[in-house]
Amino acid sequence: MNQCRFATELEERLLRYTAIDSQSDAASATTPSTPTQFDMLNLLLAELSGIGAKDVTLTGYGTVLATIPGTVAGPTLAFLAHVDTAQQYYASGVKPRVVRNYKGGVITFPDDPALTLSPAHNAYLGTKLGDDIVTASGTTLLGADDKAGVAIIMTMAQHLLSTPGLDHPPIRIAFTPDEEIGRGVHPSLPADLAADFGYTLDGGESGRIDYDSFSGDTAEITVTGVSVHPGKAKGKLVSAITLSSKIIAALPQATMTPDLTELHEGFIHATEMTGDASEMKIKLILRDFELAGLREKVDIVQKVCDAVQATEPRATISVNIRKNYRNMRYVLDNDMTPINLARQAMKTLGITPTSEPLRGGTDGSRLTELGLPAPNLFTGMQEIHGPLEWISVQDMNAAAEVCVAIAMAAGASGDHV
């Protein structure tokens, strides 16, 4: 491949996009969940029109769609990224900066001198000697998750639309909102894309192709106690806080939490507890690679709640299980075409493709379940959702080259249109 031919454009796009606050909000009922996401969506709408993409539109469910017309017949491909950033950390006032020609050792942050990033903390950083490393300033996340994906897709689109003589089939582009809160894929999106298969650009280390992901559910527990003035509470008060604490303590804390699991091991993770002595709400995320394991975790939560309920019949404890997403592997095992195509593209570029268990989900998880197979490709993003987030411009360049190579490989045997 040409030596980092897209690096300048990718860096410029990433710095521009990450400076825009587009954090999502799970507490909001709107779509997108935050009005600031429109700052990104409208910008991309204008940029896609400006580079000559066709069918550019912003849907009623807050997704930007566009077409790169095919020059040869072949399967219609989709490339997707999300515009929102995670709500786990500060995302307003992002000040991206570039550490040129990384020479190893510790990277410091101008707005928080006590914060450091080094290969001792992140071994992958130690493999990036000579690369240009993008971070934030120390007080916010960077937002490479997933504005790196947006920048990569836009760079691919610019290249395909501006370079005569490239053979590729029709390509559809989608930039979605609210992926970080699990609401990125509207049920209408697969039909609106009308693609044969697709790729999300939302992955980590160079060469990664993710298609074996978690299946996920959410458990929402409501504990209703008996509220009484504490001065006259003997024999009457039933504290929802006390009962909620018993529920958390009874869950398998020693074997089934995120900090104790890896690879294909699932977990039960309490993400939120709110309320008071009269009523408490607990939110748990349940994750496993296999449906049987996910059902086991649902059963554990229900049995724990039933056991605590039995100790205090005056209280009411209810459990609501909400489906989130399912493992892409269940579908992709039956047709590995998109994965094989990506592997072929990487090998032609001298990139070694790798696939490991993806301990999370992407928009591709939901898209695959809805009928549009969509494995996840690397962007290079690291230490996401926090102030240490970073990415190599050279990794982004490799990802853009892979996207172009996938498009070319998909059109290699097609007749000109």
Catalytic residues: 84, 179
Known binding positions for Zn(2+): 82, 145, 180, 202, 385
Full 3-state SS string of the chain: CCCCCCHHHHHHHHHHHHCCCCECCCCCCCCCCCCCHHHHHHHHHHHHHHCCCEEEEECCCCCEEEEECCCECCCCEEEEEECCECCCCCCCCCCCEEECCCCCCCEEECCEEEEEECCCCCHHHHHCCCCCEEECCCCCCCCHHHHHHHHHHHHHHHHHHHCCCCCCCCEEEEEECCHHHCCCCCCCHHHHHCCCEEEEEEECCCCEEECCECEEEEEEEEEECECCCHHHCCCCCECHHHHHHHHHHHCCCCCCCHHHCCCCCCEEEEEEEEECCCEEEEEEEEEECCHHHHHHHHHHHHHHHHHHHHHCCCCEEEEEEEEEECCCHHHHCCCCHHHHHHHHHHHHCCCCCECCCECCCCHHHHHHHCCCCCCEEECCCECCCCCCCEEEHHHHHHHHHHHHHHHHHHCCCCCEC
Known binding positions: 82, 145, 180, 202, 385
